Amino acid sequence: MSKKVVVITGANSGLGLETAKHFLSKNDLVVMAVRDITKGEAAKEELLQLYPDGKIDVLYLDLAKLTTVREFAAAFAKKYKAVDLLINNAGVMIPPYTKTAEGFELQFGANHLGHFALTGLLLPLLEKGEHSRVVTLSSIAHRNGVIDFDNLDGSKGYKPMKFYSQSKLANILFAKGLDELLKQHGCKTISLSAHPGISSTNLFRVGKDKTPWYIKPLMNLFAQSAEKGALPTIMAATDKTLVGGEYIGPDGVGNRKGNPTIEVPHKKVYNKETMEKLWNVSEELTSISFDFQGNTQVTG
């Protein structure tokens, strides 16, 4: 018998794949929400080599297309009655200036808005889950992030790292704000955020190109493996002492490497005004309104 239903976005590689391995080792059912079905099926076969009795489902989800987020949620609801864990793992890092299908800047659109919409649509099923949690991946890059509400689409100027940091700040603000609202409305689901420190994954590419040869030796010095980088996510998803709202990261210098621990962001990070404005803007842009009563209202 499966213990939990675990949805992991971007589960076909890197941190997502390592996270999937953990839950398969516990006999959980893993739903791989992936943008490329061919790569997802290949990853599934790789995982089944390690866990021949593993329960894996591969479903299409492109976080840069909100129509597919809705389609994923609808398809998922037809197959499953509940979600125990939603791990908002997928991410895009420092691409050339690109827009999503709805015209959002790609990093803000895929990293934040796509996951915001997905979480809202799956919330009724999360509430039906057992000890349900939402874990959203942020990054140490959030420390340099500022939510520029006047230029969210990058039309007034675009710098890849600046917009990546903005999206990762949005991730941590969303996770914290969601947990506060869940508690306020008496929901049983909790929300946490995590980050991998600096991990050697396929995020470290320049656009569509592979990691430059001269970066790889530096990565070996400063980064940890994807397997180690996934541990904060796994802790956030499974540690029974966590109550929601925590931020989990590596315990080493600068939180770049090490073992997972509760990390306390700078006191300026959780700015209430920014958090509330981000939530309202996200609802408006995605046309997803969380009602926290077991029903998600889809408008527009």
- One of 164, 214, 247, 270 is an active-site residue; which one? 164
Q: What pLDDT was estimated at residue 208? A: 45
Which tens digit of pLDDT belongs to each residue from 60-80? Answer: 999 999 999 999 999 999 999
- The CA distance from 161 to 179, in Å, is 27
Q: Is the pLDDT of residue 244 over 70?
A: yes
The answer, as to whether pTM is greater than 0.75, is yes
Active site residue 247: no
- The CA distance from 159 to 145, in Å, is 12
Q: What pLDDT was estimated at residue 2? A: 59
Q: What pLDDT was estimated at residue 194? A: 97
Q: What pLDDT was estimated at residue 256? A: 67
Q: Helices marked H in 106-159 — which ranges?
A: 106-107, 114-127
Q: What pLDDT was estimated at residue 253? A: 61
User: CB of 43 within 8 A of CB of 12?
Assistant: yes
Interval 235-255 mean pLDDT: 90
Q: What pLDDT was estimated at residue 226? A: 80
Which tens digit of pLDDT belongs to each residue from 144-182? Answer: 999 999 999 999 999 999 999 999 999 999 999 999 999
Which tens digit of pLDDT belongs to each residue from 181-218? Answer: 999 999 999 999 999 988 655 544 434 444 444 444 54
State residue 269 phi and psi, 5-degree precision.
-65, -50
- The CA distance from 300 to 294, in Å, is 20
Q: What pLDDT was estimated at residue 255? A: 60
Q: Per mean pLDDT, which range of 107-111, 223-227, 259-263 is the poorest?
A: 223-227
Q: Is the pLDDT of residue 11 over 50?
A: yes
Which of these, 173, 192, 175, lies nearest to 243 by C-alpha position? Answer: 192
User: CB of 99 within 8 A of CB of 105?
Assistant: yes
Q: What pLDDT was estimated at residue 214? A: 42
Q: What pLDDT was estimated at residue 228? A: 86
Q: Is the pLDDT of residue 110 over 80?
A: yes
Q: Give percent of the chain with pLDDT exceeding 70.
A: 86
**pLDDT interval class at 57 (50, 70, 90):** very high
What is the DSSP code string of 41-92? HHHHHHHHHH-TT-EEEEEE--TT-HHHHHHHHHHHHHH-S--SEEEE----
Which tens digit of pLDDT belongs to each residue from 264-295? Answer: 999 899 999 999 999 999 999 999 999 787 54
Three-class SS state of 14 = helix
Interval 84-89 mean pLDDT: 98
Please, what are the domains in the chain?
5-298 (3.40.50.720)
Q: Which two tokens stand for residue 74?
A: 């609808």
